[in-house]
Amino acid sequence: MLQLGIVGFPQSGKSTLLAGLIEGRQPTRLGKGGAAMHAAVVKVPDPRLDHLGALYPDRKRVYAEVEYVDFPYASLGQRDQSAEAAWIGSLRTVDALVAVVRAFDDQSDAPQPVADSLAGPLANVADLQLELVLADLPLVERRLGRLKADLGRATRDERRSLMQEQGTLLQLQTQLEAEVPLRMLDLDDESWRRLRGFRFLSAKPLLYVLNIGEQQLGERAGLEAEFARRVAGPGTAGLALCAQMELELAALAEPDRQPFMEDLGLSELAAGRVIRASYQVCGLSTFFTIGDDEVRAWSVPTGTLAPQAAGLVHTDMERGFIRAEVISFEALAAAGDMAAARRQGLLRQEGRTYGVNDGDVLHFLFSR
């Protein structure tokens, strides 16, 4: 399950966004004290799964899930060392970050030019990015210090591996000292695998959510396009929404909600948009299975090979993998159902080297 950490400066609307994403439900409190985190698991909205469920109404629909963790903000310089270690340590465990950036102005209802509306938010983006960089730099420096000591007593065989790590970390140190996040660094896959255990914050995929005011909803498309352009980069994306309005809409029953959404020019709630954008920055895709008792959505890294995808369903399927029968959701929907797709010869036979695509409907054949 994808775990997303919600971060942002005070009064940015983090808690309002979380409440809207979980339709006003009470999140789970993690930890103790006034700065405790809050978490909630959300089913991933997917109209494709809804369609498959309608084709097989006697079978349970199992949605993919994501977990949001709302992290209370305290500047790195304002936390004592033990609190800072606990806070950053918890944040390092999430898969990606959702950074809420305030764009609304409580003092003014008058629309502003896009450049003026984004000046403050883009300054906050730079400050947030700097905080992540500053959290990673001491980690690199401490490890370099230990490596220097280890190299002094290492054998010849050990030195090569230690020197490779040292070289990589020196690259990271240069990047961080220049206040550039690590996700911008061009390293090969093997280097990133060696660094995985550090869980660097500035290397995590990052989605910026521009939290606009209700009076700015008419300008949302223009604000979002310019904001997304300005923050775009490797593993980084941006979108715009009004968290307060999303919370109010989420509280309405579906029939009552739709007319308001049409008036506001919204085709879906924030939950769908934020999750879909999070999947994109994390490089995740969704495939579907149709079993005897359920239709189910599965989230995997884009390009996951068919045997590994089968292993998510059951470990026996990966061990005994023979082949996968594959059809795209669009082709299946056009055919009517799986039986019709088989009659029309639409299912492809794919082997061990097949990389799963978003929207694939898969049936795995395996030996027991």
Whether residues 348 and 244 fall in one domain? no
Mean pLDDT of the chain: 88
Given this model, what pLDDT does residue 107 score? Answer: 52
* Structure token pair of residue 56: 């097989």
Given this model, what pLDDT does residue 111 score? Answer: 61
Task: Look up the pTM and report it.
Answer: 0.87
| pLDDT at position 238 over 90 | yes
The per-residue pLDDT for range 170-222, each reduced to its tens digit, is: 999 999 999 999 999 888 888 888 888 899 999 999 999 999 998 888 888 89
Q: State which residues form the domain around 275.
A: 2-113+203-281
The per-residue pLDDT for range 67-88, each reduced to its tens digit, is: 999 987 754 444 445 555 566 7
Q: How many CB atoms lie within 10 A of CB 303?
A: 10
The verdict on residue 160 lying in a domain is no
Among positive and negative, which fits the CA dihedral 77, 79, 80, 86?
negative
| pLDDT at position 162 over 80 | yes
CATH code where residue 10 lies:
3.40.50.300
The verdict on residue 7 lying in a domain is yes
Whether residues 235 and 330 fall in one domain? no
Whether residues 210 and 109 fall in one domain? yes
- Asked whether the beta carbons of 39 and 67 are under 8 A apart, the reply is yes
Domain count, the chain: 2
- Asked whether the beta carbons of 318 and 307 are under 8 A apart, the reply is yes
The verdict on residue 130 lying in a domain is no
> What are the two backbone dihedrals, phi and then psi, of residue 266, each rounded to the nearest 5 degrees?
-105, 130
CA–CA dist 82, 243 (Å, integer): 33
The per-residue pLDDT for range 253-295, each reduced to its tens digit, is: 888 888 888 888 888 888 889 999 999 999 999 999 999 999 9
